[in-house]
Chains A and B, each alone.
Chain A
Amino acid sequence: MTNQVDTPVKRTYSEAKKVRVFDGEFMPHVDSMYNFAYRLTFDEDDAKDLVQDTYMKAFRFINSFQEGTNAKAWLYRILKNSFINDYRKKSKQPAKVDYQEVEQFYNSEDTPSTATVDLRLETTKDMIGDEISNALNSLAVDFRTVVILCDLEGFTYEEMAKILDIPIGTVRSRLHRARNLLREKLGSYAMSMGYN
């Protein structure tokens, strides 16, 4: 597997070129970056700060971006790293459990079973939207992230591996685990939609 990210590429864009690349390749992703940031932080101000930080870093390190490669994946990687390194420490949110702990948590016997909601009682669109967003938000951050990247943003496994700095096998197992958790929470919805 070739890994372009690890290959040091010496390149220097002119100042004008930097701005052109920034505007042309980075700026179109502000909206989806903001949504990703919000789904990680659950806070509008934090999401805004996180996106701004990400773009400042992207500009500062723009020489390591190869024009024509996947700018969105490159930006998502910076955002995710900023979230882990800078943001999570000073976050208003309680510290989030890491994957290892979560793994143990869900493997333990005394995990309270998740109440599934009966679709027949709540059929309005908004309720469903809320329920789905609650189910997603209730996942630990590592699981939530792979679902967002895969199902909402449509990244490939290989892109996700680069964004998250983990092997493809780990992407796959994390997704699998996340999907099982979602299925526990949303299975009744999905069933009724599939068979109605």
Chain B
Amino acid sequence: MLDNEATPNQEEFFYGHIEKCMVCFAHYNVEKQIRQLLKSKLNNKEVPNALAEEIRRKIVS
């Protein structure tokens, strides 16, 4: 569902269900938050400056 792998029918059923079911709604929220945390809070590593250059040099030589 959260991975955008569900069919429109499955989505409709799911969103209809969580409107009525607190357990699934809570579960859905936690899952959603974890994905957002991963996406927003993980710092990207600084890529070594020379890396792209080195790769480029090796393939043309």
Contacts and interface: CB of A to CB of B under 8 A. Distances in A.
Contacts, number: 97
Contacts of B56: 23, 27
Interface string A11-46: 000000001001100010011001100100000100
A147 B39 CA distance: 11
Contact of A132 (B4, B41, B58, B59): B41
Interface in B12-27: none
B3 A157 contact: yes
Contacts of A56: 55, 58-59
Contacts of B35: 151
B32, B35, B41, most chain A CB atoms within 10 A: B41
Given A151-B35, A190-B34, A136 B59 contact: no
B45 A157 contact: no
Interface of B: 3-5, 29-39, 41-45, 47-48, 51-52, 54-56, 58-60
Given A34-B48, A189-B37, 9 more contacts: A27-B56, A55-B55, A151-B35, A157-B3, A179-B34, A183-B31, A186-B34, A187-B30, A191-B30
17 contacts: A19-B59, A22-B59, A27-B52, A30-B47, A34-B48, A35-B44, A35-B45, A35-B47, A47-B45, A48-B51, A52-B54, A136-B42, A157-B5, A183-B34, A190-B34, A194-B29, A194-B33
In the A-B complex, the 6 residue pairs with the closest CB atoms: A190-B33, A194-B29, A129-B41, A190-B30, A55-B55, A34-B47
